Amino acid sequence: MIKSKTLFKVGTGLAAIVSAIAFTTSPTLASKKPAIEVVTHAGAGGGTDVNSRMMMLRSRRTLKQDMVVVNKRGGGGAAAMNYFMTRPADGNTILTFTVGHAITMAMGKTKLKVEDMAPISRGTNDPQILMVNCKKSPYKTPEDFVAGMKKGDKITFGGTHTGTIDHITVFLWAKRLGQKMPKYIPYKGGGELATRLVAGEVDVGTLNLSEAAAPVEAGDICPLVILAENGMAPIPKAKTAKELGIDLVLSTTRGFVTHAGVDKARVAEMEKGIQKAMKHSMYQAYLANSGLDSTSPQPSGPWGKQIAFMVGEFGPALKEMGLLK
């Protein structure tokens, strides 16, 4: 059961901050420095856009520099990445990089490469979780589920769309257990998937915790396997894949990068300022109200490794799945 009911409910105070402050693109500081462009692939109000603006709230102060959002929609992040490539490597451009960008890069839809980016900080990290119907599933424990997979049980998985992190997650999970790609049913969103899982339309749902908050709390959906480095306090009965002897870590994630050619001292300055900003209670409240915790923000080292892993893992996976020529 979920221990904290407030974990997934956006507080009215935070909602007011997001709507009244975070969506402004007007400069807030008097500064002789040029404003930092924060490039996102989402329209105003989208998850990545909100994350970028929440980071900016305090980073403007810690960096003592104005910041403005530049929304470049299209191509699964390709438009944003292509625009980012046109900007000078002067430390005044930040790209909000997501798991979707990693997939787009792996598919060769942009000329941007991992080596073209200098990681700054990770902002959010929402682990992929394999969940079952508590009442109908024959798998009552994580160990039962793994044993069933290894035996070759016919299991129908659900996720959002095709060629997404959910789709890739199912493929890599099965591959790690020596199995072929299971039957996969794509849905339009996590909410619909959670509803279909409760209805018994699929056996396993690939979800983030926030997407299935209500049915998990109600005892209708049981999270079994967390594809993260560590467990999650709200779902203590679920185990990480690594605890089960399976090396697989995948998340819906967002973070920030700049150009690889930016002076290292400037990159370090940006990292320090943004990391400090994300430790502020305002950003931490945003994380909590999004169903995330304080482990989401990470410095450039682990964030850079995560980016490289995603791009490197996704390309071969998509090819084996027949989604990449």
- What lies within 8 Å, CB to CB, of 84 at 6+ separation is 39, 93, 95, 112, 259
Residues 178 and 78 reside in one and the same domain: no
Whether the CB-CB separation of 142 and 238 falls below 8 Å is answered with yes
Judged against a pLDDT cut of 80, whether residue 25 lies above it is answered with no
| Bridge-based pairing state of the strands 204-207 and 156-160 | parallel
Using pLDDT thresholds of 50, 70 and 90, give the confidence band for residue 6. Answer: very low
pLDDT per position as a tens digit, 159-218:
999 999 999 999 999 999 999 999 999 999 999 999 999 999 999 999 999 899 999 999
**What residues contact residue 17 under an 8 Å CB cut-off, 6+ apart?**
57, 282
Residue 15's pLDDT is: 52
pLDDT at 31: 54
> How many Cβ atoms from other residues are within 10 Å of residue 316's Cβ?
12
Same domain, 139 and 233: yes
Same domain, 222 and 79: no
Same domain, 196 and 111: no
Q: What are phi and psi of 189, to 5 degrees?
A: -165, 170
Least confident of 9-13, 75-79, 246-250: 9-13
| CATH assignment of the domain containing 33 | 3.40.190.150
Please, which pLDDT band fits residue 8 given cuts at 50, 70 and 90?
Answer: very low
Q: Are residues 221 and 292 in the same domain?
A: no
For residues 218-241, average pLDDT: 96
Which tens digit of pLDDT belongs to each residue from 237-291?
Answer: 999 999 999 999 999 999 999 999 999 999 999 999 999 999 999 999 999 988 8
State yes or no: pLDDT of 41 exceeds 70: yes
Residues with Cβ within 8 Å of residue 212, at least 6 apart in sequence: 129, 131, 190, 194, 197, 205, 221, 223
Both 87 and 27 in one domain: the answer is yes
Q: Is pLDDT of 318 > 80?
A: yes
**pLDDT class for 85, splitting at 50, 70, 90?**
very high
Is residue 22 assigned to a domain?
yes
Please give the average per-residue pLDDT across 54-62, as a whole number: 96
* pLDDT tens-digit map of 108-142: 999 999 999 999 999 999 999 999 999 999 999 99
Do 140 and 114 share a structural domain?
Answer: no
pLDDT above 90 for 13: no
* Residue 2: per-residue pLDDT: 40
Residues 39 and 183 in one domain: no
In this structure, the answer to whether residues 218 and 71 fall within a common structural domain is no
Q: Is residue 325 part of a domain?
A: no
Instruction: Tell me the CATH number at 159.
Output: 3.40.190.10
What's the chain's average pLDDT?
Answer: 91
- What domain range is 222 assigned to? 126-244
Which of 225, 244, 263 lies at the terminal end of a domain, its last residue? 244
Residue 44: pLDDT band (50, 70, 90) is: confident
SS (H, E, C) 67-116: EEEEECCCHHHHHHHHHHHHCCCCCCEEEEEEHHHHHHHHCCCCCCCHHH
Q: What is the model's pLDDT at position 7?
A: 39
Query: How far does CA 262 lie from the centroid of its chain?
Result: 25
Q: Which residues are within 8 A (CB) of 153 and not within 5 positions of it... i.e. 6 or more apart?
A: none
Instruction: Decide: 110 and 104 in contact? Cβ < 8 Å.
Output: yes
Quote the longest CA-to-CA distance of the chain. Answer: 65
Last residue of a domain, one of 219, 244, 269: 244
**Model pLDDT, residue 19:** 52
138 and 213 belong to one structural domain: yes
Q: What percentage of the chain carries pLDDT values higher than 70? A: 90
Indicate if 110 and 188 belong to the same structural domain.
no
Residue 97 lies in a domain: yes
Domain boundary among 216, 244, 272: 244
Nearest to 229 by CA among 127, 108, 155: 127
Q: Are residues 9 and 120 in the same domain?
A: yes
pLDDT(5) > 80: no
pLDDT for 290 equals: 87
pTM of the model: 0.89
In a domain, 172, yes or no: yes
Domains: count for the chain: 2
CB 288 within 8 A of CB 7: yes
Name the amino acid, one letter, at 117. M
Instruction: Give the pLDDT score at 11.
Output: 43
